[in-house]
Amino acid sequence: MVGAGIAGSATAYRLLERNPALRVLIVDRSESGSHKIGESTVEVSSYFLGRTLNLSGYLVQHHVIKQGLRFWFSNDQCETVADCSEVGPGYLVNLPAYQVNRADLDEEVLRRARAMGAELMRPVRVRSIGLNPGGGQTVTLKSEAGEATHTARWVVDASGPACVLARQEGWLQTNQRHRTSSIWARYRNVLNFDDAKLRERFPCYSRRCHGSRNTATNHVTGDGWWSWWILLNSGEVSVGVVYDERLVRFPESVRSMQARMRWLLDASPLAREILGEATLVEGSAAYRGKFSYLSDSLAGDGYVLVGDAAAFLDPFYSPGMDWIAFTTGAAVDLIGREKGQAKAAKRINTVYRRSYDRWFQALYEDKYLYLGDYDFMRMAMIFDLGGYYLGVVRSIYLKGSGEFLKPVFGELSTTVPYWVIRCYNRRLAKMAVSRRARGTFGRNNKGKAHKLLSYTLDWRLPLRLVGNLRIWLWLELTEGWRTWFRAMPEPQAAPNLRPKD
């Protein structure tokens, strides 16, 4: 097992839970867990952590219970927190998830894997992996004691963005159609989104939400970028910005990564207020550019890739832990088989690759063209979240962990919903380009609020989705008609983000 993060540790735990007689060795280059992107989980990954890995009690005691997603919008007319348009739950959500400190969580899952019998070696570096179909795979490690080679029937690459096996074998392919980058850090003394002073100063802000804003994953957005705000159990807040390099142009005077993050956030009155007295946690700042990629091969005779070692899409909607759940499920099924492993490996390469491609095309391609506009993102959130509940969450909560062998959009039976989601996201992107060209992008980013009613897993879910079609129809009649017979133009830098002469 190359990597002691949650992808590797969870795979080891599930393998040993299934067959305690297995010998599992986990190797890692770090002495202990380190801070990572991915502090927010969503409904599927919460099921994976709480019920598949049996961590529900631990999560409640040691991490923050998350109250859904919340989006914030602003434009040049917004002067205060209350002016910013908002989309989010009016009350508490029906299926809460968790805001997790990944370093602590990774160490806990590793501890449980070791308690099941897994061995651990760290810190060591992987010098090379020798693939030998039908035989023993070799892993050469370097430590302070020197070099040593270990042999195993299976190698699981859970090395995260290092992508040890994919880079070694030349399988790693960058997603050139998704040119996004991210800057993030942790802050102390961040103002609580539910702070009494805010509620007293802005009564209308107070009345818009009767649940908890502060424990939601808050997203402050702009034209071509968005930011996450995640409260952790330590009291620190993880803050990061993700931007589309086609749309965002930084002034020449804004050079450092932290200065660029603050330059974007300072465009929002809400972000300025919340970060007003905050201090940066030393050593927490990081940058990751052009982060969307996929390995050409995900599994074969003697190897399988899991988590970020296999692929990464985008942090928007926090899909990373979901991907870990699906890929570790595939790895456990593949290695645990007594026969049919070649067929299972072929299926992984077909179905999980299709899942990645369709997941990107349906939800992420060109989404940054419109996510800073209240009207378009309001519709997208309602439809994206509803489709997620109907097509993914419902199956897993009703049928159990076996559904992790069916990744999002991976099965051919999901072709119709894939095309529907892809269609409305393309339509929203096209409308946004038209609105930006007319200088009306974000025109409703001031003074609007949509109180989202939390979805349920019963008969009301499909009825609500059908009922929400009126939102799409209204946008088509008021905005979309301008683009019905026109091709999508090439995206241009957002006018409000171009540096001034």
Between β-strands 237-244 and 180-188, what pairing exists: parallel, antiparallel or unpaired?
antiparallel
Instruction: Count CB neighbours of 391 within 10 A.
Output: 15
Q: What is the pLDDT of residues 186-237, one digit of tens each?
A: 999 999 999 999 999 999 999 999 999 999 999 999 999 999 999 999 999 9
Percent of the chain at pLDDT > 90 equals 93
Contact 383, 424 (CB under 8 A): yes
Among 327-331, 465-469, 491-495, whose mean pLDDT is lowest?
491-495
Contact 461, 455 (CB under 8 A): yes
Q: How deeply is 210 buried, as exposed, middle or buried, from its count of CB atoms within 10 A (0-12, 13-18, 19+)? A: exposed
Average the pLDDT over 300-326 and give the result. 96
Indicate whether 247 pLDDT > 80.
yes
- The reported pLDDT for the residue numbered 485 is 86
Question: What is the biggest distance separating any 2 CA atoms in the chain, rounded to whole angstroms?
Answer: 70
- The reported pLDDT for the residue numbered 338 is 87
Residue 497: pLDDT band with limits 50, 70, 90: low
Kindly report, as residue ranges, where domains of CATH 3.50.50.60 are found in the chain.
Answer: 1-63+100-172+295-341
Indicate whether 487 pLDDT > 90.
no
State the pTM of this model. Answer: 0.94
- The reported pLDDT for the residue numbered 490 is 73
Q: What is the CATH number of domain 1-63+100-172+295-341?
A: 3.50.50.60
Residue 402: pLDDT band with limits 50, 70, 90: very high
Indicate whether 138 pLDDT > 70.
yes
User: From CA 354, how far away is CA 499, in angstroms rounded?
Assistant: 40
**Type and span of the H or E element at 151:** strand 146-152
Q: What is the CATH number of domain 67-95+176-289?
A: 3.30.9.100
